[in-house]
Structure 1
Amino acid sequence: MSTPRISFEFFPPQSIEACFRLWDTLGKLAPLSPEFVSVTYGAGGTTRDLTHDAVKTIHANYGVAVAAHLTCVNATREETLAIADSYAEAGVTEIVALRGDPPKGAGKFTPHPEGFASSVELVEALAKTGKFHLRVGAYPDPHPEAENLDACVEFLKRKVDAGANSAITQFFFEADTFFRFRDACADAGITAPIIPGILPVNNWTRVRRFASACGAHIPAWVDEAYEKAIRDDRETLLSTALCTELCTDLIEGGVEDLHFYTLNTPELTRDICAALGVTPKQALAQVA
């Protein structure tokens, strides 16, 4: 089995304690030499400044490529493109361009009157600048607002046609879910790389809630396995085994890149990477 290329997602810290947790997570995962790391944007754009600060700090101090999440929520086109320009000026040239979730309690996404109405519009505007490598989201299980999987494939094609260079999928629980989506994208003429998003399960109750919110299908056997593992105090052991098996199945099916949603907790992700043959390759610079 070949060793995969890896990347990691983090979320920006909102407290001093969370800052230490993020830097500790980076300290443990950056030596694995990821292709890039990404930093998320909170629902409704609530962490815009925190994301900006975290991206610049990681870029300046950790020796890894950083992809900044950028959304269409609660901002004008001018404001959004100004944020992108500030990243380019700081040497950050990768962006994960997303529509973004509405603010909590707002329900349905409503575009800013002077903002981008969709991720397709955002990608198109960013691509025209010629400054960025653009990554977008993809959904192996249908997005909650999509009619079906075909609609998700077609929307991804629109984003790629608008200038997206690659896509990162929402998490899923079975390799066949990704393979079906990959095949459907190929049939639709999508040639951009599609990187599977992997979520190591640190807390099944929380992940189950995430899955429900984003439309990720939970197979009955997974739910039953976690019920038994939690009862027997073996949740971490099960998570390591299942996630390693999922990644192995993907690699054997031709996948060369894996993107891990770390939730700013490094241990499980690091253990899974080790099981896949990904080991530390570099010394890590310290935050100034």
Structure 2
Amino acid sequence: MQLDTIKSPGGSGSEELVPSRYAVRVGDIEVLVVSDGVLPLPTQMLGHNADPAVRSAWLKEMFLPQKAFDWALNAVLVRSGDKTILIDAGLGSDPDLHLPRAGQLINRLQATGIDLTSVTDVVLTHMHMDHVGGLLVEGVKDRLRPDLQIHVAAAEVKFWEAPDFSHTAMPPGFPDALRAAAKQFTKVYHNHLRQFDEEHEVAPGVVVRRTGGHTPGHSVVRVASGGEALTFAGDAVFAVGFEQPDWYNGFEHDPEEAARVRIRLLRELAGTGEMLVATHLPFPSVGHVAVDGDHFRWVPVFWDY
């Protein structure tokens, strides 16, 4: 598989009017950002601890709707040496949540010409359903390799044995859906789990590191080769997190720690100048972090054709 020569989606009604994948090369490592679709959510989820008037002003400045807007859902495929690594697996399908524009990852990988049997490893930033759900789509496990390794922080697996939602601010139905997805995922894939404590090298130049915050086992993945680097931040960074890094996201199980993690990570990335990709930044979400006074600024890359 060469990510720069994969075929374009087409035929069988799979043609799209907007792009859903973006290829980046990090030294000798190939990275493909794939859109899993979008998730419509209330805007208060971006900062439920913020003054509503301040939040409303920020949304207006960003030309975003006041009540609800579409959160991007991004996953990443990495090729390093003889390993093909899927970082997060998208939402999958939950008919009770009525989210028809999300859960597109498996179809888009197939349309791109990527066979699931080529995936040697999966890395999970955490076990929220929009990161594990794609693996629970009917028939997917049968198409995966029997020796597939799924890398996840041990603290994350432990947390979902009895998850605490007391500090979250989610729409109705989401806590139950998250619990159910995590429970099903652990049951279906327990023999494939490769748990780590703080840091683990999945393949040459591909290192997953636990940050905590968003969930106790939330992790980020750094890809480095040839003096270049890219960090997939999972849910540590949201669109509002650059200008308002201390705003609490409704899905954060420990919002105070999540804010500390976010600020620390953004400072690191601003210092190194390496690329950033995150689950819920607008596709393809590839950019850099700049310091802007007491806050940060996201600088999207110019698309490379």
Which structure is higher in helix share?
A: 1
TM-score (normalizing by structure 1)? 0.36
Quick one: higher RCO (CA 8 Å, sep 6+), 1 or 2? 1
TM-score (normalizing by structure 2)? 0.34
Which structure is higher in strand share?
A: 2
